[in-house]
Amino acid sequence: MATPDGLTPLRIRGKRRGAPSEKWNAGKRRRPELQKRHNSVDIAKADESRSAKLRLRKSRESDDDSPLETLPAEVLQQIFEYAGNVDLAVVSRQLAAKLSKSHHLQYELTTRLLEPVLDPADGSEPSAAELHAATRLLDSRFMTWRFFTAWLRRQTNVALTGTSDDEPNFNELWKALRPDHALLPPRKLFLPPFTTEKVSFMSLLLQNVNDITLLDASYGEIAYEGLVAAIQSDMPDLVFLFLGVGLNSDTELLRTAVEAGCNQEIVQMLVDSDAARQRAAGRSKGEVDLLDPAIWAWAEHARKHGNDRGEWLVSYLQARQRKIVPSR
């Protein structure tokens, strides 16, 4: 709208510029070192200051090191081999770094800690401390399937072959050493992800175990978790291995197998395992409920959507039911 003098007022949009006095006051509140560009001399001084602080920090860390950590790696390795204490390598990063570089030490330590739990010449049984030390060794980071089989070759005087087709039966080599039946495998083998090497290692160490819960109740729990993971990962060989060490099949496991894709081999394995235990115990009823609503709902849904495994599961469950309740 026009003003009385006939002029239209202007409306200025945008950011308002400050007056010189305002800019000067704002500048006073800024840090002086941020208002100028650093030259090469300033940068050099800053780098020198940072280097000095870093040297001071390292010197403080070295002052905090124990006398054991300051020893040369060669001396530490001899102490470690003599002590036979696997936990020594996890006390600090300095010790772990110095001790993990010697393959000779790893071989010597493996021999020293495993020999007491193998077939002794005098027929004596290993102590609880020796069994624990052997299991702790097998749970070490350096104890891989490749390292263990190399050590096993050396212990049994089996030469290295050029091709994988000529590989020896490592299960038989380990069995020939007659490990004590109370030797527990490392817990790391029961945890996913399950690689081919991990399954081979587990198969070797568990070949003489019939009921792992009798050896250690806590292993029964972790083995059950491993069995569930093996079912969900669709690994029949590993499921067979877990069931072979005394784990019981139940409805929850069968439901897990069905919902994971209904691998026919795994489903049959779980049902057969439960039936075998039922007969061995003389029970009239097993732990697996073949009429579980969730299992039948999955089968019917899969069949309606053209999934062949749904049709197979319905036929299989009906056939198993007829064996339990014979027709008159």
Average pLDDT of the chain to the nearest whole number: 82
Distance of CA 11 to the CA centre of its chain: 69
Token reading at 24: 């000067």
- Dihedral of CA atoms 90, 95, 100, 103 in degrees, nearest 10, equals -120
CA dist 19 and 17 (Å) reads 7
Distance of CA 95 to the CA centre of its chain: 23
pLDDT band at 328 (very low <50, low <70, confident <90, very high): very low
Q: Is the pLDDT of residue 152 over 70?
A: yes
What does the pLDDT read at residue 293? 97
Tens digits of per-residue pLDDT, 167-190? 899 999 999 999 999 999 999 999
Tens digits of per-residue pLDDT, 78-106? 666 666 666 655 555 666 565 566 677 78
Q: Of 3-7, 38-42, 96-100, 127-131, which one has max mean pLDDT?
A: 127-131
**Which is more confidently placed, 150 or 10?**
150
Give the closest residue to 146 by CA, choosing from 106, 187, 201.
201
Which phi and psi (to 5°) does residue 162 adopt? Answer: -85, -25
